Chains A and B, each alone.
Chain A
Amino acid sequence: MANYLTFIATIGGIYALLALSLNLAWGTVGLVNLGLVGFFAVGAYASAIVTAIGVPVVGGIVVAMLAGVVAGVIVTFATLRLRDDYLAIVTLGFAEVVRIVALNERWLTNGADGISGIVTPLRQTLGGRGFDLFYLGLVTLIVVIVWFALRRLDLSPYGRALKSVREDQELAAFAGKDVMRLKFEAFALSAAIAGLAGALYAHFQSYVSPDHFQPLITIYVFLAVTAGGVGRPIGAVFGAYAVVAFMEATRFLADLPFLEPVQVAAMREILIGLSLALILLLKPTGLLPEKTPKATVQP
């Protein structure tokens, strides 16, 4: 049981990073990234590939973050000028393209087989249990660092500029903010964090494949950010741990003898969808609402 909790907490931490990434793009500057899982995948593959040719894990993580930024540039260069719903649809398409490329470019990604045997730092020295604990510590530490940095950013003048873009682009532009640039920078940073999460996942599980990166993960992270409170980093972190705990807890519904296993699985996903919808409906500010007073929102 303790092993299981360690594992779930580590996965929770990786989801927390994804939630922080989404919160930066969506909560702070108002850009919806429905292809989050694509950036997660890019980071995971990038680190897996470069560490396989001898780059140390720390280097792999840096490459993963850079790869996230590059992917962010590709996605945003045509869409940032447009209304935000275009970006939402384009990012969704991007995630699918990442999956297709990962599936077909065998020379780079080993195709449908995926990349197994990815370096797991210190596993040899620490043993399985020790490694799990070490990795939990590492991921948790990184979550705290990223959270702290994003909180600082939130409270800084730069953070306020980002939020002014979210509230009213025209007004922000009128006030002399370079809206395009702010959006671009926030999205790139957000993509880098998703890439970081990907690299951490790859070196934890030691295996990545195209099947890993399904759109459902993006939905889970949206649920996390919404539940925690859009616009507030601590909310995103809290929401991510809550969602992973919730997903795992729903497994224990499985003892309904009058239902087929497939019906239980369907019920779980219905529960996840309904909770997302209901939180949006009943508590749109999340459990830990953003503290800064909102400017009036145009309907």
Chain B
Amino acid sequence: MLSAILQALLNGLMTGALIAIPAIGFSAIFAVLRYPSFAIAGYITIGAFAGWTLNVSFGLSMEVALVGAALVAALAAVATEQTIISRLRPSGALTAAIGSIAMNLVLENIVRFFYGNDLRGYDVPLVPDVRFWGLRVGMQQIETLIISIIVMAGVFLFLTRTRFGRAMRAVADNADLARLKGIDPRKVSFVAVALGGALAGLGGVLLGADTSIDPLTGFRILLTVFAAAVLGGLGSIPGAVVGALSIGIAEELSLLVLPATYRGAVGFVAILVILTFRPRGLLGERAL
């Protein structure tokens, strides 16, 4: 039983690391623009397909696929934001959120239009897991974990060490004050959306390399990403990481006591419980 619990913890850590990347992307957009972006699912899917095209159609390495996917997804996010959503934000966060639902439907179906519904897999070697102390862990999972950690570290450095990053945090913490300090909110919004899209795209590739992709890839994990972000505290970037790991671990542990089909409900119950006792999430709502 102990090894089963340890194994579930380990699995949860791996799943959590996978969810953390798009969850950070979602939180980055929320922190600056103050609306929950449902289009994040579309960015994940577009990133996953862009990475697949580079990796499989053009036979390029996964590193190139990751970078390319981040760029394409960032571009999609910026385009979506600039054409539609930025103009909806003055009418309120909820209008922007609904606009993002509409745009998610559009993005998902653009992918479907060009790629169809077929499943596609990345060209990556799959190796059996490494075993130790009665536990097992996959090389690919470890790679994903390392990539996640690098990406997270990069995001933290960006937010704390660069001018843009600091400006983003300033806007997230207090938009009016930031404006008084001469920070151009439009530029910051632009960067936040590009960052959010890029992270979603990266998440899409990592997810796709681990499983396989189709136009519903992003939508399938949307709820889990939301749950992670809400659990950690909407708009908090460390919160997104903590939330993602908690959701990952809670879902895997739940399998020891619950029927596996109820796994999808775990995130929802976790949100309800957390919101009842800690209404601002585990880490509160400060961006960093």
Binding site for B on A (CB under 8 A): 26, 30, 32, 34, 77-79, 81-86, 88-90, 92-94, 96-97, 100-101, 103-104, 216, 219, 222-223, 226, 260, 262-263, 265-267, 269-270, 272-274, 276-277, 280-281, 284, 297, 299
Nearest chain A residue, comparing its CB with the CB of B268 = A93
Nearest-Cβ distance from residue B68 to partner chain A, whole angstroms: 23
Binds A, one of B1-9, B49-57, B150-158, B226-234: B226-234
Q: Is the CB of B103 within 8 A of A277?
A: yes
Q: How many residues of B contact A (CB 8 A)?
A: 44
Other CB < 8 Å A-B pairs besides A263-B112, A270-B109, 15 of them?
A: A32-B94, A79-B275, A81-B279, A85-B234, A86-B275, A90-B275, A94-B268, A100-B264, A216-B105, A262-B117, A265-B112, A266-B112, A269-B108, A273-B104, A274-B106
Known: A90-B275, A273-B106. A263 touches B88 (CB 8 A): no
**B105 contact set on A, CB distance < 8 A:** 216, 219, 269-270, 272-273, 276
- Most chain A beta-carbon neighbours within 10 Å: one of B87, B106, B116, B259: B106
Q: 26 A-B residue contacts at CB 8 Å?
A: A77-B276, A78-B275, A82-B275, A85-B94, A86-B230, A89-B271, A90-B268, A93-B227, A93-B267, A93-B268, A97-B264, A100-B265, A104-B261, A262-B117, A263-B112, A263-B113, A265-B112, A269-B106, A270-B109, A273-B102, A277-B84, A277-B102, A277-B106, A280-B102, A281-B87, A297-B92
Smallest CB–CB gap between B114 and chain A, Å? 9
A275 vs chain B, min Cβ distance (A): 8
Closest 3 CB pairs of A and B: A273-B105, A93-B268, A276-B102
Contact between chains at B95 and A280 (CB < 8 Å): yes
* CB pair A219 B275 closer than 8 Å: no
B97 within 8 A of A: yes
By the criterion CB–CB under 8 Å, are B261 and A103 in contact? Answer: yes
B262 interfacial by beta-carbon distance below 8 Å: yes
Q: Which partner residue on chain B sits nearest A77 by CB separation? A: B276
Expressed in whole angstroms, the Cα–Cα distance for A274 and B83 within the complex equals 12
B-side contacts of A97, CB under 8 Å: 264-265, 268
Query: Across the interface, do A269 and B94 meet the contact criterion of CB distance under 8 Å?
Result: no
- Point out which of A34, A78, A277 has the most chain B C-beta atoms below 10 A from its C-beta: A277
- Which residue of chain A has its CB nearest to the CB of B92? A297
Residues of A within 8 A of B99 (CB): 276-277, 280-281
A260 to B114, CA, bound (A): 11
Residues of B near A77 (CB, < 8 A) are 276
B:75-132 near A, CB below 8 Å = 84, 87-88, 90-95, 97-99, 101-106, 108-110, 112-113, 116-117
Cβ of B179 to closest chain A Cβ, rounded Å: 12
Shortest beta-carbon distance from B235 to chain A in Å: 10
Tell me how far the C-beta of B84 lies from the nearest C-beta in chain A, rounded to whole angstroms: 5
Contacts of A104 in B (CB 8 A): 259, 261-262
Interface of A is mostly: helix
Given A100-B265, A262-B116, A219 and B109 contact (CB-CB distance below 8 Å): no
**Closest B residue, CB atoms, query A31:** B94
A15–B15 Cα distance when bound, in Å, is 38
For B43, what are the chain A residues with a Cβ–Cβ distance below 8 Å?
none
Assembly CA distance A77 to B259 (angstroms): 26
Query: Complex: how many Å from CA A82 to CA B277?
Result: 12
Residue among B97, B110, B272 making CB contact with A270, cutoff 8 Å: B110
With both chains docked as a complex, state the minimum distance between the C-beta of B148 and any C-beta of chain A, in angstroms: 23
Q: B residues within 8 A CB of A26?
A: 94
In the assembled complex, the Cα of A266 lies from the Cα of B91 at a distance in Å of: 29
- How distant is B21 from chain A, measured CB to nearest CB, in Å? 19
Q: B94 to A84, Cβ gap below 8 A?
A: yes
Chain A proximity of B40: nearest CB distance (Å): 12
Instruction: State the Cβ distance, A162 to closest chain B Cβ, in Å.
Output: 16
Which single member of A30, A85, A262 contacts B97 (CB below 8 Å)? A85
Partner of A90, one of B102, B261, B262, B272: B272
B98 near A226 with CB under 8 A, answer yes
Residues of A contacting B276 with CB < 8 Å?
77-78
